[in-house]
Homo-oligomer: A and B are copies of this chain.
């Protein structure tokens, strides 16, 4: 029973996870909200809609995007187990700034906004986790902005996406050797992370392969020379 509606027995908890709470506070978290299941490609949050509840993600990955009225898309972050969705906007009582869509079947818990705020007031250490969770959203937003503004050219932007993604997986100190990981995104989605068109992503990945910098095999990415990729932006 690794993951489930029972927060007390759940093993997802890590330093970076919202559910990391003192033992005696877990029952209160566990009692909150209702457990839900979503299929792949379903929308959880809708940009522009009122933030009347938050979601805690147990299992699966969810992409968070901003969109323009012309259909242009920006992929800000991929959320994983232990992440909270819609927290900042629930606390400020503002409208959602991002749309959330499952990439695969997902398990999550929905908590009405008012219940969650009451929980934060009641269980003191949970405030820590809330700040931490918002700070995590902040980090990814800053990372997106940096990438879009500071990476000189298209190659730099794409390299930045790949490197940042690899960093988000393991916190090992910069290793000079190859890194391989799963990245279940289409070129279109990669493009919307880097602010590039689908075609440009394809062309650049071909170029990276030709130069032995990185390669895409199925849904796995291999970075042969992370250092050289990093040198593309700076």
> What is the interface of chain A, defined by CB distance below 8 A to chain B?
66-70, 72-74, 76, 88, 91-92, 94, 97-98, 120-121, 124, 127-128, 130-132, 134-135, 137-139, 141-142, 144-146, 148-152, 192, 195, 233-234
Contacts and interface: CB of A to CB of B under 8 A. Distances in A.
Contacts of A138: 88, 134, 137-138, 141
Contacts of A150: 66-68, 72-74
Given A70-B152, A76-B142, A148-B195, 13 more contacts: A66-B145, A66-B149, A70-B234, A72-B149, A72-B150, A88-B135, A88-B138, A97-B142, A121-B124, A124-B124, A124-B127, A134-B134, A138-B141
A189 to B, nearest CB: 13
Chain A contact residues: over half helix, strand or loop, or mixed? Answer: helix
A152 B120 CA distance: 40
B142 A66 contact: yes
13 contacts: A74-B146, A74-B150, A76-B142, A88-B134, A88-B139, A91-B131, A92-B139, A98-B142, A127-B127, A127-B131, A138-B141, A148-B149, A148-B195
So how many copies of this chain end up in the complex? 2
Contacts of A92: 132, 135, 139
A94 B148 CA distance: 22
Given A124-B124, A138-B88, A74 B131 contact: no
A71 to B, nearest CB: 10
Report the 9 A-B pairs with minimum CB-CB distance, sorted nearest first.
A141-B141, A127-B127, A148-B148, A74-B149, A68-B150, A144-B145, A88-B135, A145-B145, A69-B234
A82 to B, nearest CB: 15
Contacts of A145: 66, 74, 76, 141, 144-145, 148
Nearest to A135: B88
A66 B146 contact: yes
Nearest to A67: B150
Contact of A131 (B70, B130, B152): B130
